[in-house]
Structure 1
Amino acid sequence: MRRLTAPLVRCALVVGLLLTAVGCGASGKDRVTIMVPWTKTEFAAFYTVIQAFEDDHPTIEVDPRVTRDLTPQLDAAVAADAAPDLAVLPNVGALTKFHHDDVLETIEVDTESFLRPFGDLAMQDGDVYAVPVKADVKSLIWYDPKVVVPPPPKTWSALRSRPEPWCLGLASGPTSGWPGADWIADILLAEEGVGAYEAWVSGKTKWASKPVSDAWSMWHGLVEKNRSRSGLTQASTLAFDAAAAGMKDDSCSLSRGTLSAMGLEPQEVKKYTTVEPPLDQPLEVSADFVVKFTGSESAAELIKYLASAEAQQAWVDEPGFALSAHKDVTRYRDSTQGKVARMLRSGRPLCFSAADAMDPDVSAAFYQAVLEYVNGEDLTELLRSLDRVQRTLGKDDSPASTPLCGTPNRS
């Protein structure tokens, strides 16, 4: 890929694609542009790491560009020959897509420093194309121990008998429905295991099969507790990161998801605790991966730094709930954060989110089906429809061969 040599031209092009640039002025330093999906506390933690890099590299200036709609914005930038030097991709599907498009530069980083499957996914066809800079555990159940007594059980099957209402928000712009999709995938993974999960994600198992149908039904049975039909329908318009706030006013008692997606401030999180799944239960995880689009040597220096234990430790030391998949990062400033991080190293199998690894057309249909399900549509017909989408729109180059799951060594 040809790199534009005029920084002001490239800056104008990218800003024209509605990106928020922290700064585009000329400074005489070598500029490294990096597109990121984070805002607020998450971005502040990342920017602290960037400032430390700039202090150690006085001839390099890092220019972060913030967008919450990263993949389509990045698509537009690549099409305009105005790709940033680096970008932080929010999921497996985006990484696979840009690798298949042959627009990524290889990276000189040893992925053996990262836990499986994070390090595995960073490699494609024997070369390294990504660095997992931020990890998350999605298979978490949150509650207030002063309110939920006795503590919730550890398995989805046992949770069906508990009366506490769940916090549920499914709205997320064009990807509304994904929180339910993640949750359904988590149930299937826990109830049926890694083999069944990978077979479903790759399209070898039908959506209308009993294991997949049972996961949908179990999810619906959980989230409809203590809700009227209109109350369940309202979940489709409630923002996913606003749902957990219901635990503050006792309108709901249990919440599922990652720390960073809960929408709570760091001081608020300390009020809650999480159920630790059984040691033999696989966990659904996610990661943000930094990738390289240009041949910039300064960008190569930055990505090498972001992959280091030093930078990743500095990152988790900041507020923002960051977890690291780096094997040498084991110290956490917050006990809740540390508890979740230890789950990554517990020996449980770890699997990336199903929808993130599916063909984009299939993922979009999955999200829409979730919304229709909570709005009262028949499950059997929805799953048959998803099978039709899989047959007609699923592409042969979908990431079926992606290393979706892996078991890290205990540490």
Structure 2
Amino acid sequence: MVEINSTRLLDDLAALRQIGGHGTGVVREAFTATDLEGRRWLARRFAEAGLRPVWDPIGNLFGLPPTGRPLVLIGSHSDTQPEGGWLDGSYGVICGLEIARAAQEAGRPGIAVVSFADEEGTFEPLLGSRVWSGELPFSAILDRTDRNGRRLRDILAGMPELITAEQVSPQLFKAYIEAHIEQGLVLDDADEAIGVVETIVGMQHVEVAVIGDQNHAGTTPMNRRHDAVMGFVAFAHAVDEAFRSEAGPSTVWTFGRVTVSPNATSIVPGRTDAMLQIRDPEQARLNHLAARAVSIAENISAKGAVQIRTQVTAKLPPAPLDATLVSTLASAAERLSPGLWRRMVSGALHDAVPVSRIMPSAMLFVPSIAGRSHCFEEDTRPGDLVQGCTVLGAAVESLLLLSP
């Protein structure tokens, strides 16, 4: 039987938390010195657990057990946001490590572990998993730079581990499972311990440019203004009203980036640029809402006060997870956390999205206290961390029993 060592799990999480620790949080942006220190620490822990550490050309770190059988791959990422929490990503990697150790101790060495590179998007969101899955060509991203001007090509060339980098074929694995903190309020509000993810939302971006008429703020009468900010406010309000009546239970939308030109106190703004992000687990609704936003812009433009130009610039389809793996996780959750688990949608993107395109994949959530994440306040109760790993370990054990 695969038995999780809770002390070992929590000790490893605490040790990784110290690398880049900043108060209660962690600063470990991808491919910085602290990120590489953290993943080198992981490589040593993999080796101590009897796993062979393998770096691939994009900097993904795998821990491979000594078996030729099809393997179950467990993992996530260990990089953080510029001001990040201590569990986002790291929990999934350490869960994988603990389950791999426990499985080997039980005589079932069929678990591999991965820490994918740059999930948080320092150079490109889900960078390592998208390159590994074949979704993003390796050559297409080498000249990307981060916000500090560092070029990815130069960073990779400076990593001694990559001199002996190996391609790790997805064909080695029969399934991928990612444990993660929820990063939302659902489980914590309900006092539940486990979320079994059925679908990861898709996303569309609508780029918005509101064109008005820049003019003097003191001499231009209110009834003669073509104010780009007021035009944007009208558009955002109309979008919010329409979406509230047409959205589904898991739909969310955000104007997360707004810039005003020339952004001066005494000038009627001549232009406002914004990005509308829409997330939903259903492709048809994503398409409908993006089209609805475009239609609203056209209706406001027709009135003549401002012109609103729109363009859908990103389309990421939803990722339904493997039904058999979902059922396996659900069975383990019902057995070990009866009445304290649910099937749910992930509103955040994860490495499981690109990996799910190439192999059966699943996700398990544990609660985030007060729904906080991507901040230093991010936290989860130790008992929930242990329970999530225990449920995942039980599910993985049933998968190992089915191995040829």
Fold match by TM threshold 0.5:
no
> With structure 2 as the length reference, what TM-score do the two structures score?
0.26
Name which structure has the greater RCO, CA cutoff 8 Å, separation 6+: 1
Higher helix residue share: 1
Higher strand residue share: 2
